[in-house]
Structure 1
């Protein structure tokens, strides 16, 4: 079985930058995905038939509601939700997430904000859904690839980690990811072999 062969995901902002890098890795791993973004033609050409591109990112409540309906019709229940920001979008798509699914913000968020959103999702009956974020130190192709690996690690390989933010730093020194705070994180995890060798620290 391929890495994500039985998985379904939604990627908001998935037609460029970090979102596109995440989308490519999901498709390469066999996942079925639905994504939004402002360069749908480019993404459709690069990702092929396993990805459905439905247009720009949702910008208002009506668009968010329409996206939630589309996800329900096209994918049913999903395993992962990746998005750059948007509490309302996360909450609207919450019913589509499977028990134990994952929300990963692909932009820097403060740890208090992550904890607050994780608590809010739990209050809405989140069924063990985890909320984490990756925080690239600055733009760049190498950072984008490292951040994509980190985002997928949080989604697929860190089942006991929620409310965490992974800083992604690249440069002349070896790539490193550190989990500064792991809420309800009980074990050390490792990225897939192709990832840079990170030091991931978890704290009780």
Structure 2
């Protein structure tokens, strides 16, 4: 499957759960992926899950990996797709984002006003900014939570599919926040 072939993606802020699920789908679709891992344990786990199809680095090594080109294992040039856990994670990476690219924020509670403000700021570069708002997502070691109206917990994979839709398919959408919470956020 080459759905994301010739795309360069950066998944920043989380190498487990949702971030890892996004990276897996990108790799499966043929994208070149750079994933950040905060700890050595996260890095080892991500490398085991993704194999050599993705490059896994510490957050402090992202700029060098993106600027390094050939020797870094990641091609030089701008990133097409940026997935970040929050705006403060994404903001320093903006110089590496290609015009016409896409940002998807993946924090559980992205501020709609902040998403719209960043979308407006980057619109002149043709960069779309959207967010997924995951809730009631199953994770290892998580405590019991009330089930949403759908009657089950969601999976990181389901959030990844929504994030990839916003990044690659929703080409006339920017400043949007998509709840992926089984209906829990509904009145």
TM-score by length of 2: 0.78
- Higher RCO (CA 8 Å, separation ≥ 6 residues): 2
- How many pairs align? 161
Structure 2 residue aligned with 1:72: 67
Counterpart check, 1:90 vs 2:90: yes
CA distance in 1, matches of 2:65, 2:24: 21
**Alignment RMSD, CA only?**
2.2
1:159 paired residue among 171, 183, 186: 171
Q: What aligned pairs does 1:20-169 form with structure 2 within 5 A after superposition?
A: 20-37=20-37, 38=39, 39-55=42-58, 58=59, 63=60, 66-73=61-68, 74-75=74-75, 76-87=77-88, 89-107=89-107, 108-122=109-123, 127-140=125-138, 142-169=154-181
CA distance in 2, matches of 1:132, 1:164: 5
CA distance in 2, matches of 1:158, 1:69: 30
In structure 1, stretches of 5+ residues that fail to align are 179-204
Show structure 1 runs of 4+ deviating over 6 A.
none
Structure 1 residue aligned with 2:142: none
Cα distance change on mapping 1:146 and 1:140 into 2, 3 Å: same
Q: What aligned pairs does 1:186-197 form with structure 2 within 5 A after superposition?
A: none
Instruction: Report if aligned partners of 1:68, 1:92 keep a CA contact under 8 Å in 2.
Output: no
Secondary structure at the counterpart of residue 100 of structure 1:
strand
